[in-house]
């Protein structure tokens, strides 16, 4: 009998975890952008946001991200506003 081990995803709040210069990808592996160091603080209605920049455009990400080797991947419940 073989033993199977299930590893749960380690999820982090983007506002607390994504640092300036970090790359963030969507669930399909496409680059959303790099964090520019601008953040919107959490409130009673939002978990905080991180501003990403790609090709001169700003994208705000709010919610959970998963740490990968050298970057971050957003999760299904993560809000992305372009």
pLDDT tens digits for range 31-71 = 999 999 999 999 999 999 999 999 999 999 999 999 999 99
| pLDDT on residue 44 | 95
Q: How far apart are CA 38 and CA 68, in angstroms?
A: 22
CA 14 → CA 3, 4, 27, 33, 70, distances in Å? 34, 31, 15, 13, 15
Domain-embedded: residue 6:
no
Q: Which domain holds residue 71?
A: 11-81
Two tokens, residue 80: 């992305």
Residue 70: which H helix or E strand, with range? none
Read off the CATH number of the domain in which 49 is found: 2.30.30.240
Q: What total number of domains does the chain contain?
A: 1
| pLDDT on residue 8 | 77
Alpha-carbon torsion angle 53, 33, 62, 73, nearest 10:
-170
Q: How far apart are CA 72 and CA 11, in angstroms?
A: 10
pTM of the model: 0.88
Domain-embedded: residue 40:
yes
Residue 56: which H helix or E strand, with range? none
């Amino acid at each position: 009998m073989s033993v199977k081990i299930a590893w749960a995803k380690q999820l982090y709040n983007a506002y607390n975890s994504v640092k300036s210069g970090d790359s963030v990808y969507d669930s399909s592996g496409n680059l959303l952008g790099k964090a520019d160091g601008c953040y919107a603080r959490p409130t009673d209605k939002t978990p905080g946001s991180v501003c990403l920049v790609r090709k001169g455009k700003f994208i705000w990400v709010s919610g959970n991200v998963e740490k990968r080797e050298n970057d971050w991947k957003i999760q299904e419940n993560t809000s992305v506003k372009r």
